[in-house]
Amino acid sequence: MLTVGDARFGRRQFLRIGSLGLGGLSLASLLPADTRGADAQRLLTDKAVILLFMHGGPSQIETFDPKMQAAAEVRSATGEVATKTPGITFGGTFAKLARASDKLTIVRSFVPGDANHDIKPVVGRDTLQANLGSIYAHVAGFNRPATGMPTNAALFPRAVDPSTQAPNPNFGNFAATGPLSAACAPFVPGGGGALQQDMKLKLPLTLLEDRRSLLRRLDQASVSLDAAANAGLDSQQDKAFRVILGGVADAFDLAREHPKVVARYDTAPLVRPENISKKWHNYNNYVDNAKALGKLLLLARRLCERGCGFVTVTTNFVWDMHADQNNAGVAEGMRYMGLPFDHAVSAFLEDVEARGLSEKILLICCGEMGRTPKINKNGGRDHWANLAPLLLAGGGLKMGRVIGQSNRQGAEPSSQPVTIKNLVATVMHTLFDVGSLRVQRSLPRDFVSLIDWQPIPGLHG
């Protein structure tokens, strides 16, 4: 379906494509947010951020702080493994990451602030109630002017496997933009079902050409546009079709990757559906995570490589490990979750290093909370607000270290706490020239405050 509307950009009108909308992108939204293109570039670094959100609340102890000297009900239920960093161990399911610890920084004093099931720090009170990537898009523009690549994206399992479940909307809106324009919302491939087909260009090229001709005829029939507006409209149409037929669609297509690279990322062989207990209500979430996690990180790398500045990656609610009717306990749950995470993140680290992207892309891995220091009577850990795991890799920051310490029980920091505000500031300092950004009069005051917070200490300089 084709509709005509007033875009209110310098009296220009635009044509909005319905079934060729690339999952909601209009012709107008394929262009920069406004005319500030060159100015926006001066505010940006050449870096990108991938935030791998470990939804459900991962245990700080079974991940990066095993506490093997503590009492049996406290220490890691999966044991520990020595890392490449002297004196540092990880939980027992992270053998591959242990061998890559020189490429990581682990924060052992990260305090998420509360034990609520939500989607902080992706969206929360410390991000203006907007997706962190939306904050980036507000400055960078919604798409790259030269290519049409979205600057902000969110990847769920259906982006790489249409057989997986839709994102769970019960814990927060990943597409929230808070006080910012709705156009800053992340681009979600596969999010609407039909988008996966659009991005892979299942429509015949002849049909696309027919629609191009139709647009031209409609344009010629319009008597309300002056010559200048017509010139602008033609440019928008041509840009839209170049994007549909060009590199943006290719970026979302994993078939364009070398099969060996796809195989290296693939986490599906690690946790087979038949090896997951069906008694857990989270069974389908465990299955989807194994199917998709590695390929989601591969897709995120492809997008950043081609100009996307912020990518949120998550699978459905899977890190909740109470050992109740919904969730496995920590020992069993880490087999379902820890092994794919270990494999996917280590593959990503190898891949970006081989491509010379380690300095350009900052990977952040965390959830919305941690887990209780003591294992409950069923073998699970419950919600915990005072400590949570946090991993960072790349982005030109200092790696191969541990920042902060926890107390003997892994219950709270024994050093200066690192908060979500510190994490948000680290993202801001990675993506923006903060000195230039501070003097931009057009930015909301609350926005500027995000860069005035202190980044995580020990990562810079």
Q: Which residue has the higher pLDDT, 215 or 400?
A: 400
Give pLDDT tens digits for 180-199: 999 999 999 986 433 333 34
Q: Give the tokens for residue 189.
A: 């491939």
Tell me how far apart the alpha carbons of residues 313 and 53 are, in angstroms, rounded to a whole number. Answer: 6
CA separation, residue 277 to residues 12, 69, 76, 293 (Å)? 58, 31, 22, 19
Whether residue 342 contacts residue 96, with contact meaning beta carbons closer than 8 Å, is answered with: yes
Q: pLDDT tens across 17-65, in order?
A: 332 333 334 333 333 344 345 567 789 999 999 999 999 999 999 999 9
CA–CA separation, 319 and 285 (whole Å): 10
Residue 10: which pLDDT band, with cuts at 50, 70 and 90?
very low
Q: Where are the domains of the chain?
A: 1-30+208-251, 47-200+256-452
Q: Peptide bond preceding 121: is omega within 30 degrees of 0, i.e. cis?
A: yes
Both tokens assigned to 315: 């699978």
Share of the chain above pLDDT 70, in %: 79
Percentage with pLDDT > 90 across the chain: 70
End-to-end CA distance of the chain: 54
For residue 240, the SS3 value is helix
Structure tokens of 128? 């203006």
Domain range 47-200+256-452, CATH architecture: 3-Layer(aba) Sandwich (3.40)
- Cβ–Cβ < 8 Å for 330, 377: no
pTM of the model: 0.85
* Count of beta carbons in the 10 Å neighbourhood of residue 209: 12
Residue 452, SS3? helix
